[in-house]
Amino acid sequence: MVQVVLSLKQETEQKLRRMARELKGGKKGALSAVVTEALDEYEQRAQQMLALEKLRKIADKGLKLGITKFNREDAYD
């Protein structure tokens, strides 16, 4: 384990401690567990957003399916 020193606003620190109590029962390591879970969720959301952006670019670009015009008679051979 590595120790990290953070500077938080007092309200943010109170929220973090409240969440640690509510989610982890105020056990030893609760703050670390809550922060770790939040970072994991943030990373997952960021990856989803990148994937969605990639899909949007593909959709905006369009697909060339090689479809050509044809006559109605050609469809019913």
User: Per residue in 11-43, pLDDT tens?
Assistant: 999 999 999 999 999 899 999 999 999 999 999
Encoded amino acid at 69, one letter: K
DSSP, collapsed to helix, strand or coil, labels residue 76 as coil
Q: Is the pTM of this model over 0.75?
A: no
Sign of CA dihedral 15, 17, 23, 29: positive
Place of tokens 């399916």: 65
Q: Mean pLDDT over residues 56-69, rounded? A: 81
Contact 43, 58 (CB under 8 A): no
**CA 62 – CA 31 distance, rounded (Å):** 47
- 1: confidence class by pLDDT, cuts 50, 70, 90: confident
For position 40, what pLDDT does the model report?
98
For position 72, what pLDDT does the model report?
81
